[in-house]
Each structure stands twice: as C-alpha cells, then as structure tokens.
Amino acid sequence: MKNKEVIINLKNVAKYYYMGDNIVKAVDGVDISIKQGEFVAVMGPSGSGKSTCMNLIGSLDIPTKGVIYLDNEDISSLSESDLAVLRGKKVGFIFQQFNLIPNLTVKENVMLPMMFQGESKQERENVAEELLVKVGLGDRMKFYPNQLSGGQQQRVAIARSLANDPEVILADEPTGNLDTKTGKKVIDFLKSLNKEGKTVIMVTHDPNLAKEHADIVYSLRDGKVERITRKNKLRI
C-alpha cells in the first residue's frame, strides 16, 4: 500500500507578537505533520496557542520563524495573492462563529468561495445547490442566515467549506456554539467527509471530542506541543 503523502508540514514554527518591550510567544517552536486522509485534532486550553496554530496550519498567517509547507510549497515564499489562491483551492474553513454573510442567501454564501477562484456563475450555482442538498438544506437555499438555527448555519458553513473541493477541511471549535445533539451531527458529518478521503483538522478545547474522533491529537500548552497522542499509542 502506498504511504500517504504529507499535505501540511510545520517545522519549528513560531509566531510572536511584539507589544512594546514585551514579546508574546503565541506559538513557540512547533512541529506538526499532517498526512492526506488523516483526522487530526489540535487541542489545548484557552491561551495555549491553538487558535494561532490553526491560522498557521490553514495558511491564514505566516510564521515569525520556521517554515510551513502546504502541498510541498513553502508558503513563506509566496505573495499574499498567490497564497490566497493556493489556500482557496487546498483548504476549506469551518469557523465556530459560522462567519456567514448576513445579507447573502444560504446559496449565495456557499457560492462565494468559488467566485474568488474564477468559476462561472452557472458552475457556482450548480455546485452550491449540490452541496446544500448534501448537508440536508436543499429547501433552505433562498433563506438568509438569521432565518436558520445554529445547527443549520453550521451546515451552511460546512457546505461553503467544500465549495472548491479542497483536500483539507479545517474546523475551528465546530461544535462550540451548538447543543450536544446538533454537535454530534456535525462531528458525524466531518467523519463522513474524512471517510471520503478529506483530511480533517479540528481545533478544540474538548479532550473527549479530540480523543474519541481523531487519529492523532496534538496537545498544546504555552505555545508548544506538549504531547502527541495517536490511536492506541502515546508519545511524549
């Protein structure tokens, strides 16, 4: 069997913020390697650096030092416009606050990422409709976000994350604003995407969620990887 390729690789990555004479080391020298088709969790308490780490993993930010490879490309060598194109093709984002555009319909929200990739209007409409049917919202396409429940809004966010058929789905606290039953449905959907071959990276503060569903858990504390937990194997 062919070994799965590494799709995201962080090598000795740090992100520092300078506040006067003080340096805030949000992420301080982490090594994270994620292969195609894995379900990975990045876990840690508030202030551990997991949100900053998510931004770095998703190429939303570039490191103060160290290197990040996305599909074997060093993102620090790319211009912001080239990085945006690469990110738009390779990574789909699901945010805790949903981040839907309130004055766009559900369908228009899902179409939006495809616009930045230059897809035709007809293609954007076709893909958006297919994805909304897939997440069970085929009858809500003309609704606006404020007409939906939290769980429905999260499903729109999932559909939007799939718009450009990315290899990687990056989910930031995907169940954080949902009740337990709705949260389970979202996790089940992420697991089904993983079974279809998508690489899923979930950022969470919930150790039970991480350990139950992820193949690999990176536990962060004070900006560093404290431990790496693999299914049936622990490495300190």
CA-nearest of 39, 66, 38 to 52 is: 66
Domains and CATH numbers, the chain: 36-65+77-235 (3.40.50.300)
Query: What CA–CA distance (Å, rounded) separates 42 from 9?
Result: 14
The mean pLDDT of 172-187, rounded to a whole number, is 87
Q: Cβ(13)–Cβ(27) under 8 Å?
A: yes
d(CA 36, CA 136): 27
Give CA–CA dist 169/173, Å, rounded.
13
CB neighbours of 50 closer than 8 A, spacing ≥ 6? Answer: 42, 43, 44, 203, 204, 205, 220
Pairing of strands 233-235, 39-43: unpaired
Strand order in the sheet with 224-230: 91-94, 168-172, 199-204, 39-43, 216-221, 224-230, 233-235
Cα gap 164→131, rounded to integer Å: 11
Say whether pLDDT at 236 is over 50. Answer: no
pTM of this structure? 0.88
The pLDDT tens digits for 58-83 are 988 889 999 999 888 898 778 888 88
- Determine how β-strand 6-19 pairs with β-strand 65-70: antiparallel
Is 1 a residue whose pLDDT tops 60? no
**Which runs of consecutive H residues, i.e. helices, occur in the chain?**
50-57, 80-90, 106-115, 121-134, 150-161, 180-195, 207-213
Per-residue pLDDT, 103: 96
**Residue 232 pLDDT class (50, 70, 90 cuts):** low
Question: What is the arithmetic mean of pLDDT over 193-205?
Answer: 93
pLDDT (tens digit per residue) in 213-223: 999 999 999 99
Rounded to an integer, the average pLDDT of 168-179 is 89
Give pLDDT, residue 155.
92
Is the pLDDT at 233 greater than 80? The verdict is no
Q: Return the SS3 of 119.
A: coil
- Residues 112-159 have pLDDT tens digits of 999 888 889 999 999 999 999 999 999 999 999 999 999 999 999 999
Provide the 10 A C-beta neighbour count for residue 181. 8
Once rounded to an integer, what is the mean pLDDT over residues 23-40?
A: 95
Average pLDDT over the chain reads 90
Residues pairing with 33 in the sheet = 9
234 pLDDT tier (thresholds 50, 70, 90) = very low
